[in-house]
Structure 1
Amino acid sequence: MEEKLHPEKSGPFFRVPGKKSHLEKSSPFPPESREEDAWLSERQLAKCSPAEVDQFGSPVPTRMVSNGEYMPIAQTEKQKRVEARILELADSASKRLGMSRRMFLATTGGFAAAFLAMNEVFGHFFNVSLLEVFGPAAYAATGAPANLYVLDDQTHLVRSSLQGPVTLRAIAQGYDEVTGPLFGVNPFNPTGLNDELGGAWTAWNPALHNKPYTCDMFNVINYIKEMFFDSQTTVAVLSNANFAAIPVPGGNPRAPTNVTESLTHEILTGEQTAGVRDFVNQIAGSTRVLAHGQLYVGIGNLHDPVFGDFTQFQIDAFHPDSWKGYNIAPAAKVDTDPNSLMRMWRLDDVAVAYPIYAVIARNTQELKKHPGFFNICVHKGLAPGPPDIPERGNPTDIPKAASDWPQFNFIIYHSSIRPAFFDYESLQDIRSGVLREGVPDISWTTQFAQLAAPFPNVYAEIGTTLASSIVTFPTVAAHILGQLMKYLGPNRIVFGSDSLWYGSPQWQIEALWRFEIPEGLREKWGYPELTKSAKRKILGLNSARLYRLPTAVGGQHGDGGAYKPVPPNFEQLIPDSLKTLLEIGQPVPPGACVVSDNFSKMKEEYLAGGGQRNNTRYGWIRTAA
């Protein structure tokens, strides 16, 4: 078997950062003590206390928690107000419900109390009522309805011989007993900047708390479980990433020289994507998964030494439902030199991109069975820093491409958001007062919305952009959704979760259903209201139109009507051919899998057996000026 990439060699989202060795510092404290594990000075430690001694136990952090590598700031006045209001609500509710305050804060009522307090202090971002504080039934009643149609436009899994982007799971999981020892710091916020809740590493998805890392957490079995048993997803678009880095012995990874070399080192190929689609749809007896083909552009990929015209090969071999490309990926072969490296590309490049569009456009016969065949899904954004060019995510290449190819729908993934996964920069964009055509200029996303507005065949996808902001930067989420609604309207925004990176997508579905753009922001900036009708369109109806799928659902998991359930024994139904295709059972190369310790696995088993989340946080909090 050919060597597979280790996580630290597979690009920026696969690197596994860790704490420095204790040998690299001298410490006056006993080995393995809490103080010895911190990077704070003795003077700084004197102003801090271990976070786990905090007796509050809020479901969301109400003060900054440091892992010991940076000095936490003191609790802000707004955080104090949130904490006081949560305490007030928790004391009242716990007495009425006959339980301790700590036990109450571990229930859905605790989350409702936290959302209410945040609304009162930061603005009305979440649709939650006081009634929900007192019972899970009331909390569920205002959540995502059972008949909600959800088409998740961007989902991921990883072939079984690789683990995948563990740093993305880490930022969604937040700092806990598992991620702290594995990573040390938030992989996308190593300097400890604050989110709007005052944390440097606040969890996005509370269901991931203390969940262990395993070598199979991104594989097909967990994918089917998380998408179709643990969420309301009706249909999922399974994506892929031709973002390959080729190992160089003794040197830095390089770009691939041809398609075969790239496919060997990708987390999932187009063929593997289609294989999963075919299996799930067969056992479900209905369309539950759609599959992306891969955009490899340039003249060299029309004359590949193995595949010839690789785009046509994909069409003939496994019939993609739509297409996925990464401008920032080295996927453009601009010549026929067998030794030249692939490079990044832009949507409006007549010589590089347009010949591939032409191949897709001439295969109109595919539209009969794959009505979304002309959907061109393109990753743009999540690329902070210079240069400010379309190849990295700047949207200035969209208007010409959309105008020249009106038969295509250009679905712009991540809505071109520039910051990667931690939205502090976007919050500063909003607070700076700098405007673009009368609204806060959120880097690349505002520009994208305004450039795309005149083109009815351009859509905004909100994968990761929503996940990275809706909990930890709600002001950013409100402005982004407001601007997309203002310029593109509710009919041209589509939901994507980027799961499995962040666990089951259910938390994002619930968060978006509850989310509201505060009235003050709407009045000041002219943003439309995010109504329930608009949310239904964003969560699924818009994508259903793009793929011409029925939208009648009957059950909690999208079952009934045109959609049938995935059988519970799906794992036993996986054929040997798919196991071979996905490399199930093949050994994972040493160093290619990050696994958490047995204690964390025991903790997960305890929780699965009925144990209760305790909201304890680990690290340091500022307790003195």
Structure 2
Amino acid sequence: MTSPTDPDLRRLPIKLDSTSNGEFAPVALDAAARHARALARGAVDAAARRTGQDRRRYLVSLLGAAATLSALDRAFAAAGKRGGGYMLPAEAPFELAAAQAALAGDEFIFDVQLHHVNPQGAWRKNAGPNAFKGMPNSDCGKPDHVECFSSGALLKDVFLDSDTAMGVLSHVPGGADTNPLDFEAAGATREAARALDGTERLLLHGRCMPTLPGELDGMDAQAARHKLAAFKTYTQFGPRDGDSGFFLDDERHGTPFIERARKLGVRNIAVHKGLAFGPRGYEFSTARDIGPAAKRHPDMGFLVYHAGFDTGVKEGPYDPRAEAGVDVLIRSVIEAGHPRNVYAELGSTWRFVMRDPDQAAHLMGKLLKTFGEDHILWGTDSIWYGSPQDQIQAFRAFDIRPEFQQKYGYPAITPAIKRKIFGLNAARVYGLKPDEMRKKLVKDPVQKRKAEYANDPQPSFATYGPRTRSEFLAFRRIQGELP
């Protein structure tokens, strides 16, 4: 069976690659991950033949994901990466019931970090006709290649090709005229989804870059226009000829921003931490300010996007002397007395450590020890990585192995904990009642369309974000971050 979305039939349903979300330079796979990917391709071919299916039909079934994850796990273990693993029964690549038991969960999945691009936005005046040209998905067949990253692509990837039930439409860094997803387009996407299904599958963030003129006053207009779930900010973002960033606990930008959000009745601050754009403003990407800001504003929620993860730091056991990475966030909240209004979010972070089960085990183990199972939020940073289904399936299968649990005091990641991380925690933060939402969602038009789509699914298994340094630099230029 051929596929218009995967003509060479070489893509895997669990994606290991160098793709970036555009906020960090792509990082090449190491030898172990490259070998794991090659082994997975061979395992899929062999399993498809054994089950008597052509490769495409096998890949789009749960068997394909099971075969891929099983092969990745074997390869990583052979390479000595045994801190965590993808735990599937041996028969899962061949028997649907076994694959379903491991990978077909019924969790309420609430993705708190989704993005798309507005093809008609003001940013295109500055970006020029070649914006996003050459990116991995820019040849999707649309007359305007930027439509490949539009709200329609987001809705297919997230609500048809994954088990995601709800999401939050967030923002990327940039001012009003340079942001590929401007606030008005984000609001339009949310309203289109709401009109389509009669529910609220998409919540909406407001945006604010306090180092730019007029941004604080702009918060008022956003709150007046739409009901906002949070205000999103990037502390490392600032004008090139002025402030290079700010901290949430400073009196010039951070405190006025938080207090303006509170005045507007928006009690959640979503803040990008980690995934530094580069050397400029690097210090402001660290999470040293989270603990003090949360302690000072106990009535506000602080949702730490990416959990402070930095691709330049290999996550290991907690190091209180760390100057970057997740350990800075951990130290910040410990020194502040463990304020209970801080939440660590996994967008891009989980996707990156999927390539290294030791890092994944340390990352999840440290977060669970520090924040507890009720304060970790599921996010995927989709649309940049295509459908988030592979991230969902990998997390369902992942656990910290007993050796690491005993050595470092990490807990097992039980199904109950995964349910909380997948969506129950975020539902509480955003004031949703999952059981009531489920009753609406199972009857809405999106669910009906998804059931029809399941008769002939066409997942692309593609990633959209930059995979090379040249693609990354081009992406940064359209946002005005580079000349």
Specify if TM > 0.5. Answer: yes
Q: Which moved more, 1:491-500 or 1:290-299?
A: 290-299
For 1:532 and 1:164, the matched residues in 2 are separated by: 43
Q: Does 1:140 align with 2:21?
A: no
Residue pair 1:412, 1:459 contacting (<8 A) in 2 also: yes
**Which amino acid in 2 is paired with 1:159?**
N
Task: Mark the CA change 1:142 to 1:110 in structure 2 (over 3 Å): closer, same or farther.
Answer: closer
Task: Mark the CA change 1:230 to 1:273 in structure 2 (over 3 Å): closer, same or farther.
Answer: same
Q: 2:198 aligns with which of 285, 307, 318?
A: 285
For 1:163 and 1:232, the matched residues in 2 are separated by: 33
**Which amino acid in 2 is paired with 1:406?**
P
Residue pair 1:164, 1:218 contacting (<8 A) in 2 also: no
Percent of pairs with identical residues: 26
Q: Identify the residue that residue 274 of structure 1 maps to in structure 2.
A: 187
Residue pair 2:123, 2:180 contacting (<8 A) in 1 also: yes
Q: Does 1:318 align with 2:226?
A: yes
Q: Does 1:131 align with 2:91?
A: yes
Q: Identify the residue that residue 328 of structure 2 maps to in structure 1.
A: 447
Q: 1:418 aligns with which of 298, 303, 310?
A: 310
For 1:216 and 1:525, the matched residues in 2 are separated by: 47
Q: Mapping of 1:470-485 within 5 angstroms?
A: 470=354, 472-485=355-368
Post-superposition CA distance 1:358-393 (Å, at most 9, x none): 2222234xxxxxxxx2110001111176478542x1
Residue pair 2:76, 2:356 contacting (<8 A) in 1 also: no
Q: Mapping of 1:37-116 within 5 angstroms?
A: 97=51, 108=64, 110-111=67-68, 113-116=70-73
Task: Mark the CA change 1:514 to 1:360 in structure 2 (over 3 Å): closer, same or farther.
Answer: same
For 2:459 and 2:228, the matched residues in 1 are separated by: 42
Residue pair 2:121, 2:181 contacting (<8 A) in 1 also: no
For 1:509 and 1:115, the matched residues in 2 are separated by: 16
Post-superposition CA distance 1:109-151 (Å, at most 9, x none): 6425414523652325102111112134431331141x31011
For 2:30 and 2:394, the matched residues in 1 are separated by: 29
Q: Identify the residue that residue 205 of structure 1 maps to in structure 2.
A: none
Residue pair 1:298, 1:353 contacting (<8 A) in 2 also: no
Q: Identify the residue that residue 360 of structure 1 maps to in structure 2.
A: 261
Task: Mark the CA change 1:543 to 1:113 in structure 2 (over 3 Å): closer, same or farther.
Answer: closer
Task: Mark the CA change 1:612 to 1:288 in structure 2 (over 3 Å): closer, same or farther.
Answer: closer
For 1:476 and 1:450, the matched residues in 2 are separated by: 18
| SS state at 1:412 partner | strand
Task: Mark the CA change 1:133 to 1:455 in structure 2 (over 3 Å): closer, same or farther.
Answer: same
Q: Identify the residue that residue 346 of structure 1 maps to in structure 2.
A: 247
Q: Does 1:328 align with 2:236?
A: yes
| Alignment TM-score, normalising by the size of structure 1 | 0.58
Q: 1:380 aligns with which of 269, 273, 279?
A: 273
Residue pair 1:228, 1:566 contacting (<8 A) in 2 also: no
Q: Identify the residue that residue 511 of structure 1 maps to in structure 2.
A: 394
**Which amino acid in 1 is paired with 2:418?**
K
For 1:567 and 1:61, the matched residues in 2 are separated by: 26
Q: Does 1:466 align with 2:350?
A: yes
Matched length: 420
**Which amino acid in 2 is paired with 1:522?**
Q
For 1:73 and 1:226, the matched residues in 2 are separated by: 24
For 1:317 and 1:182, the matched residues in 2 are separated by: 35
**Which amino acid in 2 is paired with 1:269?**
D
Task: Mark the CA change 1:612 to 1:407 in structure 2 (over 3 Å): closer, same or farther.
Answer: closer
Task: Mark the CA change 1:374 to 1:331 in structure 2 (over 3 Å): closer, same or farther.
Answer: farther
CA drift of 1:279 comes to 2.6
For 2:434 and 2:403, the matched residues in 1 are separated by: 34
For 2:13 and 2:212, the matched residues in 1 are separated by: 54
For 1:58 and 1:314, the matched residues in 2 are separated by: 41
Q: Identify the residue that residue 161 of structure 1 maps to in structure 2.
A: 120
**Which amino acid in 2 is paired with 1:537?**
K
Q: Does 1:227 align with 2:184?
A: no
| SS state at 2:353 partner | coil
Q: Does 1:404 align with 2:285?
A: no
CA drift of 1:160 comes to 1.4
CA drift of 1:481 comes to 0.8
| SS state at 2:363 partner | helix
Q: Identify the residue that residue 295 of structure 1 maps to in structure 2.
A: 208
CA drift of 1:415 comes to 0.7
Task: Mark the CA change 1:140 to 1:162 in structure 2 (over 3 Å): closer, same or farther.
Answer: farther
Greater helix share, 1 or 2?
2
| Alignment TM-score, normalising by the size of structure 2 | 0.73
Q: 1:533 aligns with which of 412, 416, 421?
A: 416
Post-superposition CA distance 1:322-381 (Å, at most 9, x none): 11001122279xxxxxxx7564221111122222322222234xxxxxxxx211000111
Gaps of 5+ in 2: 1-9, 19-27, 125-131, 450-455, 463-483
Residue pair 1:409, 1:457 contacting (<8 A) in 2 also: yes
CA drift of 1:103 comes to 9.7
Post-superposition CA distance 1:430-451 (Å, at most 9, x none): 4xxx86149xx59421121232
| SS state at 2:161 partner | coil
**Which amino acid in 2 is paired with 1:228?**
F
Task: Mark the CA change 1:275 to 1:478 in structure 2 (over 3 Å): closer, same or farther.
Answer: same
Task: Mark the CA change 1:569 to 1:487 in structure 2 (over 3 Å): closer, same or farther.
Answer: closer
**Which amino acid in 2 is paired with 1:505?**
P
For 1:73 and 1:310, the matched residues in 2 are separated by: 41
| SS state at 2:214 partner | helix
CA drift of 1:271 comes to 2.7
Task: Mark the CA change 1:442 to 1:476 in structure 2 (over 3 Å): closer, same or farther.
Answer: farther
For 2:198 and 2:210, the matched residues in 1 are separated by: 35
Q: Which moved more, 1:346-355 or 1:150-159?
A: 346-355
For 1:220 and 1:230, the matched residues in 2 are separated by: 14
Q: Does 1:522 align with 2:435?
A: no
For 1:285 and 1:81, the matched residues in 2 are separated by: 43
| SS state at 1:323 partner | strand
For 1:85 and 1:240, the matched residues in 2 are separated by: 34
Residue pair 1:112, 1:129 contacting (<8 A) in 2 also: no
CA drift of 1:96 comes to 5.4
CA drift of 1:226 comes to 1.8
CA drift of 1:543 comes to 0.3
**RMSD, matched Cα:** 4.4
| SS state at 1:537 partner | helix
For 1:538 and 1:233, the matched residues in 2 are separated by: 13
Residue pair 1:374, 1:407 contacting (<8 A) in 2 also: yes
Post-superposition CA distance 1:218-273 (Å, at most 9, x none): 111112222222222111100112x33xxxxxxxxxxxxxxxxx312211222322
Which protein is bigger by CA-based radius of gyration? 1
**Which amino acid in 1 is paired with 2:103?**
G
Residue pair 1:327, 1:390 contacting (<8 A) in 2 also: no
Residue pair 1:298, 1:355 contacting (<8 A) in 2 also: no
For 1:82 and 1:158, the matched residues in 2 are separated by: 30
Q: Mapping of 1:111-122 within 5 angstroms?
A: 111=68, 113-118=70-75, 120-121=77-78, 122=81
**Which amino acid in 2 is paired with 1:481?**
M
